[in-house]
Structure 1
Amino acid sequence: MRALPEDFVVREWLGFDADGEGDHLLLKVRKRGANTMWVAKQLARIGKIHPRDVGFAGLKDRDAVAEQAFTVPGRSAVPNWLGVTGDGFEVISAARTRRKLKRGALKGNDFEIVLREFSGDTTLLEQRLQTLSTAGAPNYFGPQRFGHNGSNVSTAIAWFEGGPAPERMDRGFALSAARSVIFNAVLAERVNAGSWNQLLDGDVVNLNGSGSFFLAETIDDTLRDRCQQLDVHPTGPMWHGDALLSKGATATLETEAAQRYAVLAAGLSKARLEPERRPLRVPVRELKWRIEGADVHLQFRLQRGSFATAVLHELISNAFQAETPEADV
């Protein structure tokens, strides 16, 4: 993985275009070997604006080539942003828009990935790819979520065990990482049980591509069919400490998984977080592949908040270990 940054290309799919009017500029930026925060700070410096005035929808990996949207106020010091360059980035389009980009304001991401020196069974690889294209992938949080060498989790543990509270940004990273550990543990239990892609009585069900969830105390044939069609998905908890939304055996499984991480679960309970759920499965849309010698070329689209490494984890044995912790895409 990532023998070159060009082996991992990600393009944001915002789901909308600039409307040509407004007090902001929507910039499309191509970056290589630079993380999102670094580019945002450079845009602020060049435009002589405060960094908080630069908007973006999500973080993108440093060790990659990424096309990502940013917004800057129209009052910036740069009259024409098209072609502006900096350390590791270039502005490739600019257009007026009405609103500053907010975190999460995108539909998903398109990926082009090259895996080098493939040495496995080609037939098995293609079978797995076909399964991914029709059945989706377990929606694990990738290692980027946990920080370099798990530093975000270590911060959470130290804080929850009585240490000083981290700075605001680090606190957010720590809470997200702690919740992600427990979610991944729940998902792993469902994968081991063969139920990560099936609805169980007591599941909280997600309508694909939306933030809509509902409790299904009993699963009927209609819901089973919709699950088979990737229209709805089972979910796992983003731990918050209050009563779980799930019921019965599903709630028991989730509680037992969380209890294996008692320090994290207890700390999250005290943080008074809003109840949230995350789909256990992510569809892998528009999946295409070709094998050229020892190189495997992949193209696919994921919904926002999901990780390309979760897809690669279904194909190669060291996807999570080989990934450079950098950012949530």
Structure 2
Amino acid sequence: MWFVFMHATQRPDRPLTAVLRHRPEDFQVEEIPATLPDGEGEHVWLHVRKRGMNTDDVAVLLGRIAGVPRRAVGYAGRKDRHAVTTQWFSVHLPGREAPAWSEQLPPAVEVLDARRHRRKLQTGHLRGNRFVLVLRQCAGDRDRAQTHLALLQQRGVPNFFGAQRFGRDGSNVAKAEALFQGTLLVRDHKLRGIYLSAARAEIFNQVLAARLDNGTWDQALLGDALQLDGRGSFFINQGDDPTVPERLAAQALHVTGPLWGCGDLATTGPVAALESEIAATMPVLAQGLEAAGLTQERRVLRIRPQALSWHWEDEHTLQLDFTLPAGAFATTLVDGLADTGACG
């Protein structure tokens, strides 16, 4: 199940052991919005900083204060609970004045800005996230850690779905199986989506783990679906473009893996065979996703951290600063550098 993520990332060659999330301030996330509110419209957009609360809890709280149903509250992405995170929410308030948010919010939630906009904030409508992470009680080879970070910057990071996608104790995959087998009834549309996403993530992580093990997670094979950096489009590697290896090395191209669903795989030949073989080892998940009507999509196997920098605050405390695209997990970068005693 999801423990393939642990197996593939917790390798003995990591140069450090460390503690992550010693306190929420050690894991800071700032959302990079795709759109900013323009000051007019039926939706009030709120720029919120929260500490020790998850995104859904804050969305419910905002809806309660505004006297609107939960579906009237939008956000672009879920952010970690055990962190200090900054993100935008939207609340549908047509023809109504906004309440005095700060007077009714707990100290852990702070409204930094509030402006109106014509549209609701939709899930996925963000460019990425900026991270400031602090690793404490670091032990190991500091020189090798410096070299390792430089390599991560140069080569990229395996784009595993983090433990957050799989729920407490990784239970979301088991719940997805129960849902597909008809032994679990889920009426909540959002909760059902969470279980479907976990099933897809499990198959993807398995494929990425196999490509990591055979050394081809950043190497193009015949039949691979290659995606342009920062773009959603991809093309099939036919072996007739001599620039592909150079563009992969420069991270202008990335190999992709499957987000499982119905329809034919984009890949061909041995790559398609490998992906199909791995999905066949999880028939309940694969067939359940197909029956649910999800279609085949692709996700890059590698992420490129932007503006990656680091410095030692003291002999045992390392701060990392970097930006990742939407959908990428900061913990995958950390797990490639340090054993923090937990996955994700």
> Quick one: which amino acid aligns to residue 200 of structure 1?
L
> Quick one: which amino acid aligns to residue 260 of structure 2?
W
Shift of residue 312, structure 1, vs aligned partner: 0.9
Per-residue CA distance 1:231-265 (angstroms, 9 max, x = gap): 22110001114321101111111112212223222
1:159 to 161, 179, 189: 179
Q: Secondary structure at the match of 1:86?
A: coil
Partner of residue 335, structure 2: 313
Partner of residue 202, structure 2: 181
- What TM-score do you get using the length of structure 1 for normalisation? 0.92
Partner of residue 113, structure 1: 133
Q: Distance in 1 between matches of 2:42 and 2:72?
A: 12
Partner of residue 63, structure 2: 44
Gaps of at least 5 residues in structure 2 are 1-19
Q: Percent identity?
A: 43
Partner of residue 326, structure 1: none
Partner of residue 45, structure 2: 26
Contact 2:163 2:343 (8 Å CA) reproduced: no
Shift of residue 81, structure 1, vs aligned partner: 4.7
Q: Distance in 2 between matches of 1:253 and 1:121?
A: 37
Question: 194-203 or 257-266, which moves further after superposition?
Answer: 257-266
Per-residue CA distance 1:51-78 (angstroms, 9 max, x = gap): 2111100101111000010112344553
1:149 to 169, 172, 175: 169
Q: Secondary structure at the match of 1:257?
A: helix
Q: Is the alpha carbon distance of 1:77 and 1:23 closer, same or farther for their aligned partners in structure 2, counting shifts above 3 Å? A: closer
Q: Distance in 1 between matches of 2:90 and 2:193?
A: 23
Q: Distance in 2 between matches of 1:105 and 1:28?
A: 14
Partner of residue 327, structure 1: none
Question: 93-102 or 219-228, which moves further after superposition?
Answer: 219-228
Partner of residue 239, structure 1: 260
Contact 1:60 1:66 (8 Å CA) reproduced: yes
Question: 267-276 or 51-60, which moves further after superposition?
Answer: 267-276
Q: Distance in 2 between matches of 1:58 and 1:157?
A: 25
Gaps of at least 5 residues in structure 1 are 324-329
Shift of residue 322, structure 1, vs aligned partner: 4.5
Partner of residue 6, structure 2: none
Question: 82-91 or 102-111, which moves further after superposition?
Answer: 82-91
> Quick one: which amino acid aligns to residue 112 of structure 1?
V
Q: Does 2:267 align with 1:259?
A: no
Q: Does 2:323 align with 1:301?
A: yes
Contact 1:82 1:94 (8 Å CA) reproduced: no
Partner of residue 218, structure 2: 197
- What TM-score do you get using the length of structure 2 for normalisation? 0.88
Q: Distance in 1 between matches of 2:93 and 2:132?
A: 33
Contact 1:84 1:91 (8 Å CA) reproduced: no
Q: Distance in 2 between matches of 1:241 and 1:96?
A: 39
Q: Distance in 2 between matches of 1:38 and 1:202?
A: 44
Q: Distance in 2 between matches of 1:100 and 1:122?
A: 46
Q: Is the alpha carbon distance of 1:281 and 1:122 closer, same or farther for their aligned partners in structure 2, counting shifts above 3 Å? A: same
1:66 to 73, 85, 90: 85
Q: Is the alpha carbon distance of 1:79 and 1:173 closer, same or farther for their aligned partners in structure 2, counting shifts above 3 Å? A: closer
Contact 2:255 2:302 (8 Å CA) reproduced: yes
Shift of residue 123, structure 1, vs aligned partner: 0.9
Contact 2:264 2:296 (8 Å CA) reproduced: no
Partner of residue 96, structure 1: 116
Q: Distance in 1 between matches of 2:66 and 2:122?
A: 19
RMSD between aligned residues:
1.8
Contact 2:65 2:101 (8 Å CA) reproduced: no
1:85 to 96, 105, 130: 105
Q: Is the alpha carbon distance of 1:121 and 1:84 closer, same or farther for their aligned partners in structure 2, counting shifts above 3 Å? A: same
Shift of residue 19, structure 1, vs aligned partner: 1.8
Q: Does 2:32 align with 1:13?
A: yes
Per-residue CA distance 1:201-221 (angstroms, 9 max, x = gap): 101111222221222222522
Q: Distance in 2 between matches of 1:21 and 1:80?
A: 19
Q: Distance in 2 between matches of 1:183 and 1:318?
A: 23
Shift of residue 166, structure 1, vs aligned partner: 2.2
